[in-house]
Structure 1
């Protein structure tokens, strides 16, 4: 069974995709960016955008019955290669060792975003 978990205050885009899709114990979270609850982009420093994006990811995971500790893979999009160092400093504040599998792609976002993150997680009730 495929579910599309969300709550009224789940951050969502105006674009045609769901914040998360849940299949069994697996949760696939769409890219989360620095947006407010209405989907409006909130521009900030790289650090500010990264933190807002991960906080949005936390909210989507919570609504789907998971959390950051149950993330098994992340994909990270960093607009400017110069921000990769700061990215690597902030990332361990949210994801603890042993870290999830991770892919980081740079020089890939348009001018309106500095950072975006998506993930695959398991439900908190999972034995994984």
Structure 2
């Protein structure tokens, strides 16, 4: 597959990072979204409660998906990174607010993030079919 078959959509509402990665890549009808953490529009980490960081991260994920032409309901897989085991119950409660049946497949990894963030999420989505 040539590089020309891969798109990297981005606009002024796409969360940015100072780190070397693209927010998302679109290959065919698949959308691959890089890890989204609790950052503001300039890419600065915004520390908060677990709930605050979770919600900001999911909204950043939603913003990246929008640039590619889809939303949370188009996600088929999430990978979630939770810094502290103690936050798992809250994580599951909050996750259920954003994702309903049929639920995307999911992996959750704990005790893996630096002290600067509590939560990060990445995903694979499928573009909706054109009407």
Name the TM tier (shorter chain).
over 0.9
Q: Distance in 2 between matches of 1:21 and 1:80?
A: 29
**How large is the Cα RMSD of the aligned pairs?**
1.2
Give ranges in structure 2 of 5+ residues lacking alignment.
Answer: none
Deviations 1:74-124 (A, max 9, x none): 000000000000000000111111210000000000000000000000112
Instruction: Indicate conservation of the 8 Å contact 1:11/1:37, yes or no.
Output: yes
Aligned counterpart in structure 2 of residue 29 of structure 1, from 25, 29, 33: 33
**Is residue 2:22 matched to residue 1:18?**
yes
Give ranges in structure 1 of 5+ residues lacking alignment.
Answer: none
Deviations 1:8-41 (A, max 9, x none): 1210111000000000100000000000011000
Q: Distance in 2 between matches of 1:6 and 1:61?
A: 10
| 1:1-128 aligned within 5 A | 1-125=5-129
Q: Find runs of 4+ consecutive structure 1 residues off by over 3 angstroms.
A: none
Instruction: Indicate conservation of the 8 Å contact 1:79/1:108, yes or no.
Output: yes
Give TM-score scaled by structure 2 length.
Answer: 0.94
Aligned length: 127
Equivalent residue of 2:106, what SS? strand
Per the TM alignment, residue 43 of structure 1 is displaced from its structure 2 partner at its CA by 0.4
Give TM-score scaled by structure 1 length.
Answer: 0.97
